[in-house]
Structure 1
Amino acid sequence: MEPTPIASTPLSTDDLEALRHAKEALESPSLTMKLASVVGSPIEKLMAKMPNIAQEKIDEATQLALKKCLQLALRTLGKSSPFDSLMAPTPDKPHNLMHKLAVATTGAAGGAFGMFALPVELPVTTTLMFRSICDIARSEGEDIHRIDTQLQCMMVLGMGGPSKSDDNADLGYFIVRGALAQSVSRATNEIAAKGLSSHGSTALIKFLHTVASRFSVQVSEQVAAKSIPAIGAVLGAMVNTVFIDHFQQMAHGHFTVRRLERQYGQVAIERAYQTIDVSGSR
């Protein structure tokens, strides 16, 4: 499909193409569809077969995994990050494949042991995905040692799909981002005012819960895809690869948009984004 012309845009040709790729990433098929294509079964039916206690365990594991990521992020503020040795030496080359291979390994273990592996696997998988998102953020010119950047990275985990309370599963990127950004802003401002001792603050806890409520939906779908009897290590690795690839795409789209906003302003980028038609590319 030929690119849709955008009238009176201030963006250069290269930046307009970058924005187009960002929108394609942010509006790519849902994780549900991607997982279904791998396991060959509708995810909704697999989730319906999961016992109620499983969802409780998933919610608990999700909260714990995100909390560990946040604690690690806060401990590294203003210091050499433990992510640095995993990052590419140049800002335009994130190590996406390396992180996918690492997550595939944890997925193989999860496929072999099922729900029993979740409390151990999910924190590791989530931390690896968070590192990958940080890597992508830095490749787009972000300073990953800043609290607001790290919260933006965590926010990506809440952008991967609708929460259980969303009335509309097709909310646009800017609407979802705007709702989550308010939580990021409040948490960032509170930490800036009170210091890192405020990491147990109300604003930060609310932000964590907001992200967790959305991220747990994606985790539930991932667990459901691995709930097929005798799924095995190979398919478990494939499910985890799809899982991290989905969030890597979201991260590339989100941080590309932020990079362009720093250059052209949010209003100009949002207008250009809304005008781009990517329906024919999916």
Structure 2
Amino acid sequence: MIEGPQDTPVDVDAELDKLAKRYRQAGGVGLQILNLVGDSAEGLLKRLPKNIRSRLDQTTEAALTSAMRAAHGSRRYVTDQPDWVNRVVTTSMGAAGGFGGLPSAMAELPVTTTILLRTIQGVATEYGFDPDSDGVQFDCIRVFAAAGPLAQDDGTDLAFLTTRVAVSGPAVHGMIAKVAPRLATVLGQKLAAQTVPVLGAVAGALTNYAYTSYYQEMAHVHFGLRKLAIEADIPHAELVSDLQARVAKPRIRRS
């Protein structure tokens, strides 16, 4: 775990501006996906067969649980990769998953979830946190509670940064159960996009690129705030409130 506060003064405003920029950019590819598939984020879920929709929560919770085991086990053999490498890998997998329609997209889902979690763990390490600790495992799962790249977000969806419970092994599993229903909606949209006739492979590649980019950026925001709170010795909740105000602030367009 990183130590703090640091001797070198931290430019809190500059760091918060950087994190706000990351937050705004996180879902930038989402609109391209919706334009490609010709539907809204809500409408995508209706494309899935009813039996798949009814099992999304259960499927997602199982995928997260297996991803947690696989991601941690893989750390002994595979080092953390740069953000762009993770995007290339998941983009290729999304194309393969979309090419075969719903069956291949369902098979690809837990593998992509594992890589996304490894990506989040890698970001945690980048900021000096130990992904083997229960607290950081908890935080890595909590990143998945963000709205998702297809959501219309004005900066109000920052609750995933502030939820606090007692941190222990059981709490991590409790967080998986809590996050799963929300993530199920997000992953359901991903599955539906990958099953678009003819465009499945393209939509799958673009969707996985968007999802990987999104959760990478959310992880940077989350762990960046955690680190800033320690280094600047400022309450985490105060930094989240300040970040929310910056994200919601209208941006001035240059003519």
**TM-score category, normalised to shorter length:** 0.7 to 0.9
Length-normalised TM-score, structure 2: 0.80
- Between Structure 1 and Structure 2, how many residues are aligned? 240
Q: Of 78, 89, 107, which aligns to 1:85?
A: 78
- The equivalent of 2:246 in structure 1 is 276
Q: Which amino acid aligns with 1:104?
A: T
Instruction: For 1:153-168, list aligned pairs within 5 A.
Output: 153-161=140-148
Length-normalised TM-score, structure 1: 0.73
Distance 1:136 1:281, change over 3 A: farther
Give the Cα separation in 2 of the matches to 1:22 and 1:71: 29
Which has the higher mean CA deviation after the structures are superposed, 229-238 or 132-141?
229-238
Q: Please tell me whether residue 109 in structure 1 is matched to residue 106 in structure 2.
A: no
What is the DSSP-based 3-state SS (H/G/I as helix, E as strand, rest coil) of the residue aligned with 1:236? Answer: helix
Give the Cα separation in 2 of the matches to 1:142 and 1:247: 17
Q: Of 62, 65, 68, which aligns to 2:66?
A: 68
Give the Cα separation in 2 of the matches to 1:143 and 1:217: 29
- The equivalent of 2:156 in structure 1 is 172
Q: Of 130, 145, 149, which aligns to 2:136?
A: 149
Give the Cα separation in 2 of the matches to 1:155 and 1:257: 14
Runs of 5+ unmatched residues, structure 1: 1-10, 89-94, 163-168, 192-200
Q: Of 196, 205, 208, which aligns to 1:237?
A: 205
Q: Which amino acid aligns with 1:24?
A: K
Give the Cα separation in 1 of the matches to 2:121 and 2:172: 19
Distance 1:48 1:134, change over 3 A: same
Q: Which amino acid aligns with 1:68?
A: S
Shift of 1:270: 3.7
Runs of 5+ unmatched residues, structure 2: 1-8
Shift of 1:230: 1.6
Shift of 1:29: 6.6
Give the Cα separation in 2 of the matches to 1:215 and 1:281: 33
Q: Does structure 1 retain, via aligned residues, the 8 Å contact 2:101–2:195?
A: yes
- The equivalent of 1:58 in structure 2 is 56
Q: Which amino acid aligns with 1:59?
A: D
Q: Does structure 1 retain, via aligned residues, the 8 Å contact 2:161–2:240?
A: no
Q: Tell me how large the CA RMSD over aligned residues is.
A: 3.1
Q: Which amino acid aligns with 1:155?
A: R
Give the Cα separation in 2 of the matches to 1:118 and 1:281: 40
What is the DSSP-based 3-state SS (H/G/I as helix, E as strand, rest coil) of the residue aligned with 1:85? Answer: coil
Deviations 1:129-149 (A, max 9, x none): 111111111111212221211
Q: Does structure 2 retain, via aligned residues, the 8 Å contact 1:112–1:232?
A: yes
Give the Cα separation in 1 of the matches to 2:181 and 2:198: 29
Shift of 1:38: 4.5
Q: Which amino acid aligns with 1:52?
A: K
Shift of 1:231: 1.9
Q: Does structure 2 retain, via aligned residues, the 8 Å contact 1:160–1:246?
A: no
Q: Please tell me whether residue 266 in structure 1 is matched to residue 235 in structure 2.
A: yes
Give the share of equivalent positions with the same residue, in percent: 25
Deviations 1:75-128 (A, max 9, x none): 65xxxx62673326xxxxxx1011111111210111111210244211110111
